[in-house]
Amino acid sequence: MGVIKDRFKAKADIVAAEVKEILKEHGKKKIGEVTLSQVYQGMRGITGLVTETSLLDAQEGIRFRGYTIPELQQKLPKAAGGTEPLPEGLFYLMLVGDLPTEENVHHLTSVWQRRSHVPNYVFDTIEALPVSAHPMTQFVVAIMALQIESQFSKKYAAGLSKKDYWNVVFDDSMDLISRLPRIAAYIYRRKYKNGDHIQPNGLLDWSGNFAHMMGYEGEEFKELMRLYMTIHADHEGGNVSAHATHLVGSALSDPYLSFAAGMNGLAGPLHGLANQEVIKWIFEMREELKTDLPSKEQIGEYVKKTLAEGKVVPGYGHAVLRKTDPRFTAQAEFAKKHCPDDPIVQTVWNVYEVAPPILEGTGKIKNPWPNVDAHSGSLLKHYGLIEEDFYTVLFGVSRALGVLASLCWDRA
Ligand code: AMX
């Protein structure tokens, strides 16, 4: 751990000095005007915060430290025999600011393996909830139980110098990221597999081990998890989960408290729960139309019906993006390679052809194009992870990488 922590601190010290200099020189510079409607619409379009880890362009989509998703797929280290990036590499990039070597990534994998022990009382806390509780509720409760482990809160209570905040926030963030797959897999096996739990495999990477603990051993599914964990990790600072983690962290709430706040936001249907909503919407459509593969005409009618009922078409629209989400495209490419004939995948592609002009025709929806959630469920269903109310937990495990890397930057 020492190496990555030292490298992070060295980078953060340079940036802190630069920021100090910029503020001294240009601190009074005006960067925009604010209209009344922006204030009433939740600070829409106001540049109000800095996020170091990623940048979201309305036309182009997300860049992580300057790299697009296809670039990351090319440049980040992969698992042996794999073609998708290891999310350990993305975390290193977001944290340190440089592309990692294979060695850096293997180092992170083994650090996270070493720190992944989850105390029994966390499992007991999960067990105290009815099994019917939504997986996101179980996830947040487990994170809150794990907060007892926070080094930051213990050291702060004992008297911690401001200069050392970053150091303990860093340790807490690493511990939390290491433990999340075990917690999420426990919830999955508890809720859907009669509590038949699977022990971690210390030889696997973070996502591969997560897939294994959920009960999915296929190499293709593990590759999907590596891609999934990479593309859901971060989306600049304005989205609800990132903003909530940042905001709560600003009160010096420790990383467990801050991340739990972010996860409560991710659990909302207009944010991370949309991946569950998309699949629910597709299955309700299939049931109503009594077909596994609705025609484009039928889909068009169903989109119009959804709008007429005053509901949103899940998986479409975005507060910032104004084009097809590159995270949607990355998943479509994965599906083209591995499962182009799957009827749910084909339905997702047909919705993509039919829905945007109808949404655009309403004249009020600013972005008629699909976001990340429009595609993810179809791939999970294809590999047998059929329980859609679990999908947001997968999103949450991934989102920890970006928001906790950002929290380390905030404190440093
Ligand atoms: N279906 C129907 N109506 C939609 C819509 C959609 N997919 N997207 C936007 N609209 C509506 C809004 O509800 C709003 O209606 P109103 O004026 O009657 O209140 C109007 O169009 C203008 O909204 P907007 O400025 O285009 O979007 P926004 O920034 O207010 O909201 C978002 C963005 C994502 C919440 C919205 O597009 C939406 O509800 N989409 C469906 C849910 C979804 O896919 N969420 C996931 C987003 C990605 C993520 O965070 N994981």
Task: Summarize pLDDT for 120-174 with one digit per residue, the tens.
Answer: 999 999 999 999 999 999 999 999 999 999 999 999 999 999 999 999 999 999 9
Query: What global pTM score does this model have?
Result: 0.98
Q: Which amino acid is at 119?
A: P
Which of 235, 246, 318, 375 is the catalytic position? 318
Cα–Cα distance for residue pair 338/268, rounded to 1 Å: 31
Residue located via tokens 């696997």: 204
Torsion of CA 152, 246, 400, 145, to 10 degrees: 50
State the pLDDT at residue 2: 86
Decide: 145 and 121 in contact? Cβ < 8 Å.
Answer: yes
DSSP code per residue over 91-124: HHHHHHSSPPPHHHHHHHHHHHHHT----HHHHH
Q: What distance lies between CA 174 and its chain's CA centroid?
A: 16
Q: Is the dihedral of CA 53, 58, 60, 61 positive or negative?
A: positive
Active site residue 197: no
Residue 304 is predicted with a pLDDT of 98
Rounded to the nearest whole angstrom, what is the distance from the C-alpha of residue 391 to the centroid of ligand 1?
A: 20
Per-residue pLDDT at 54? 98
For range 395-402, the mean pLDDT: 98
Cβ atoms of residues 307 and 356 within 8 Å: no
pLDDT in tens, 330-346: 999 999 999 999 999 99
Q: Which residue CA neighbors atom 36 of ligand 1 most closely?
A: 317
**At 368, is the pLDDT very low, low, confident or very high (cuts 50, 70, 90)?**
very high
Q: What is the mean pLDDT of residues 260-266?
A: 98
User: What number is the average pLDDT over the span 115-120?
Assistant: 98
What pLDDT does residue 319 have?
A: 93
Q: What percent of the chain has pLDDT over 70?
A: 100
Pocket of ligand 1 (CB under 6 A): 239, 270-272, 274, 307, 312-319, 364-367, 371-373
CA of 280 to the centre of ligand 1 (A): 17
Task: Name the closest-CA residue to atom 21, ligand 1.
Answer: 365
Write the single-letter amino acid at 13: D
- State yes or no: is 373 an active-site residue: yes
**Side chain identity at 344, as an amino acid letter?**
I
Confidence of residue 1 (pLDDT cuts 50, 70, 90): low
Q: Which residues contact 206 (CB under 8 A, 6 or more apart)?
A: 86, 87, 88, 109, 112, 181, 229
Give 48-74 pLDDT, tens digit per residue: 899 999 999 999 999 999 999 999 999
Question: Are the C-beta atoms of 247 and 408 separated by less than 8 Å?
Answer: no
Q: Is 151 exposed, middle or buried (0-12, 13-18, 19+ CB in 10 A)?
A: middle
Mean pLDDT of the chain: 97
To test the ligand 1 pocket, which listed residue (270, 305, 351, 367) has its Cβ within 8 A of the most ligand atoms? 270
Structure token digits, residue 223: 């590759």
338-357 burial by CB neighbour count: b if 16+ within 10 A, else e? bbeebbbbbbbbbbbebbbe
User: Per-residue pLDDT for 387 more than 80?
Assistant: yes
Residue closest via CA to ligand 1's atom 20 equals: 365
Nearest one of 8, 71, 74 to 405, comparing CA atoms: 8
Cα 77 to averaged position of ligand 1 atoms, centre (Å): 36
User: How far is it between the farthest Cα atoms of the chain?
Assistant: 66
pLDDT in the model for residue 386: 98
Residue 271 a catalytic site member: yes
Cβ proximity of 264 and 140 under 8 Å: yes
Q: Which of 270, 258, 272, 268 is nearest to 403 (CA)?
A: 258
Q: What is the pLDDT of residue 45?
A: 87
Report the pLDDT value the prediction gives residue 233, as an integer from 0 to 100: 98
Q: Smallest Cα–Cα separation from 55: which of 320, 251, 367?
A: 320
**Taking the CB of residue 154, how many other CB atoms lie within 10 A of it?**
14
Q: How far is the CA of 365 from the centre of ligand 1 (A)?
A: 7
For residues 164-191, give the mean pLDDT. Answer: 98
